[in-house]
Structure 1
Amino acid sequence: MWMVDPFIMCRQHLPGEHNEVHMFGGSIKRRIHTDGYLKANCFEANSIGARHEELVEEMVGRGYEHNSILVVDMGALNDIPRHVRDFKIDSEGSLSLLLQRCTRCRKRYKEKHRCTLF
């Protein structure tokens, strides 16, 4: 999960994060440990439902089809240790990394913000 404005995400990263959200939803349901994703700054358990909705809104706005409903198992989510459940992604660091890695996301960012930071 990048946890950046979905508008700036390219046509590869937007559906990619959407798929990751579904993967994390399955991991929560199966109670698979996600601590490694915290160390990599890419999992925010408490935001998974809202993030899915943000991504879907952007995808639909771009004309992408969306047919996958995300059901978050709240019992399993509540069983996650608090330090994992309450972890917040460093979204500024995530944005910086994404813009360094992807020229298409960087282009969309520049278009939105009309800047030359990157």
Structure 2
Amino acid sequence: MTRMWGVNPKKMCRKHLLGEHVEMHMLASSIDTGRSVKGFQDNNCLDAPLIEERHNQLADEMLRRGYKHNSPLYHQNNLASTPIDVDASYKELIARCRECYKLSLEG
């Protein structure tokens, strides 16, 4: 499921870090081309005004880990904010993913 986790990128495994990065590009593209993201907003999986900021947080962590990042995201958003519950997202992430759970134990 496409979503903005909002979780500290340092606490995300490689798969979820890179996956959310791709999803920020997909969601921005959807908004920029006029496709609806209402379902993501209604399910608290997207705070649209934060897409570019979130992308940059993920990209910074990718670079910190030594991954390549060659896909800047420039996105103009005019959608209302629909805040996500980061604590609930984090609980779901570590329940789903053994690697993210391991990272949660590291300080």
Q: Same fold (TM over 0.5)?
A: yes
Alpha-carbon deviation of 1:39?
Answer: 2.9
> Which position in structure 1 is the counterpart of 2:30?
27
1:51 aligns with 2:46: no
Partner SS for 2:73: coil
- Report what 1:109 is aligned to: 104
Q: Which runs of 4+ in 1 moved over 3 A?
A: none
Partner residue, 2:20: 17
Give the aligned partner of residue 72 of structure 2: 69
Equivalent position amino acid for 1:103 in 2 = R
TM-score normalised by the chain length of structure 2: 0.92
Deviations 1:31-73 (A, max 9, x none): 111111123321110111110110011000001000001010x
- Structure 2: gaps of 5 or more residues: none
Partner in structure 2 of residue 99 of structure 1:
94
Structure (1/2) with the larger helix percentage? 1
- Are positions 1:37 and 2:40 aligned together? yes
Distance 2:5 2:14 in 1: 14
TM-score, length-scaled by structure 1? 0.84
- Which residue number in structure 1 is paired with residue 9 of structure 2? 6
Give percent identity, aligned residues only. Answer: 42
Distance 2:42 2:10 in 1: 26
